[in-house]
């Protein structure tokens, strides 16, 4: 990865942190994003302290809040001013929220952060990705997508019913559909898109007070049976760096292995509809 520039959203903790650290050890110039400056700076310091002397590359952090279109635009503009390329974009950040809440633009927050924020971010960074042939976009999805039965376009704001895991599962389905449609639209461009399931990871996910009900309890009680964040990062690291995945754009992976997602995740018409709806949602709130 020497000489390559990598962006990892939510790279200050969990799977994102270990993805950023591993790619930095491989010689990449890694930019991790965080909402909290102290956490971003601490993650950079921890990664750099572990890198052997003389290893090429660098680690830096930039502020990014995926629940804010203003923050996304600011990040993209700032990044383009400082860099002329992106070799790998890892859309890793995500949320599972116990209570219905909203992004800055008024979108239901799980949908807004997990899908729509990364949709807009990817659009804004595409010029830099296009500038580097062979660049990659890795979207961190989840096997939880199998619990989703399509997308409820008529209640995307969850005004009728808000069930945390169901909303999360649908957002993870969106991640895979977005990957599929992105790969189709970039078929004639040397940019590759992949979706990956990191496994059920014993990280801080759902443990910081945002998730409600039995979800935090589940993560605490069954933590001993879960993967470590290092293990959870394997698939993302593989898709970001392995030379053997050329020609597999649009695929859904678990670790190093391509896997067949749910039938809803393979619905090309649904993927196109989600893309077009996402463009409309962004335009309506962000002209």
Query: In angstroms, rounded to a whole number, what is the distance separating the alpha carbons of residues 198 and 171?
Result: 15
First to last CA, the chain: 37
Which residues make Cβ contacts (< 8 Å) with residue 40, sequence separation at least 6? 12, 32, 33, 34, 61, 62, 63
Q: What is the pTM of this model?
A: 0.91
CA dihedral over 238, 195, 123, 126, signed as positive or negative: positive
pLDDT band at 228; cut points 50, 70, 90: confident
For residue 177, pLDDT over 60 is answered with: yes
pLDDT of residue 81: 97
pLDDT band at 230; cut points 50, 70, 90: confident
pLDDT of residue 244: 82
For residue 135, pLDDT over 90 is answered with: yes
Residues known to be catalytic: 168
pLDDT of residue 221: 35
For residue 223, pLDDT over 50 is answered with: no
Query: In angstroms, rounded to a whole number, what is the distance separating the alpha carbons of residues 35 and 21?
Result: 18
Domains of the chain: 5-285 (3.40.50.720)
């Amino acid at each position: 990865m020497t000489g390559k520039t990598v962006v990892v959203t939510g790279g200050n903790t969990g799977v994102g942190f270990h993805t950023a650290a591993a790619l930095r050890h491989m010689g990449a110039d890694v930019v991790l994003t965080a909402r909290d400056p102290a956490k971003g700076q601490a993650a950079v310091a921890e990664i750099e302290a572990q890198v052997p002397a003389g290893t090429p590359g660098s680690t830096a952090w930039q502020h990014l809040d995926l629940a804010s279109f203003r923050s996304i635009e600011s990040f993209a503009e700032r990044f383009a001013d400082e860099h002329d390329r992106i070799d790998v974009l890892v859309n890793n950040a995500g949320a599972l929220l116990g209570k219905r809440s909203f992004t800055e633009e008024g979108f239901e927050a799980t949908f807004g952060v997990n899908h729509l924020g990364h949709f807009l971010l990817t659009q804004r960074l595409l010029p830099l990705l296009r500038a580097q042939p062979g660049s990659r976009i890795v979207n961190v999805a989840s096997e939880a997508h199998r619990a989703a039965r399509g997308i409820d376009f008529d209640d995307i704001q969850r005004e009728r019913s808000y069930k945390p895991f169901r909303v999360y599962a649908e957002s993870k389905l969106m991640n895979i559909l977005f990957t599929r449609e992105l790969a189709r639209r970039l078929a004639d461009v040397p940019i590759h898109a992949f979706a990956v399931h990191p496994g059920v990871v014993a990280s801080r996910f759902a443990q910081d007070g945002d998730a409600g009900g039995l979800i935090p309890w589940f993560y605490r009680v069954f933590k001993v049976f879960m993967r470590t964040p290092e293990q959870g990062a394997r698939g993302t690291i593989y898709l970001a760096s392995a030379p053997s995945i050329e020609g597999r754009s649009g695929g859904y992976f678990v670790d190093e292995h391509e896997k067949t997602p749910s039938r809803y995740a393979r619905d090309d018409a649904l993927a196109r509809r989600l893309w077009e709806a996402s463009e409309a949602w962004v335009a309506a709130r962000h002209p």
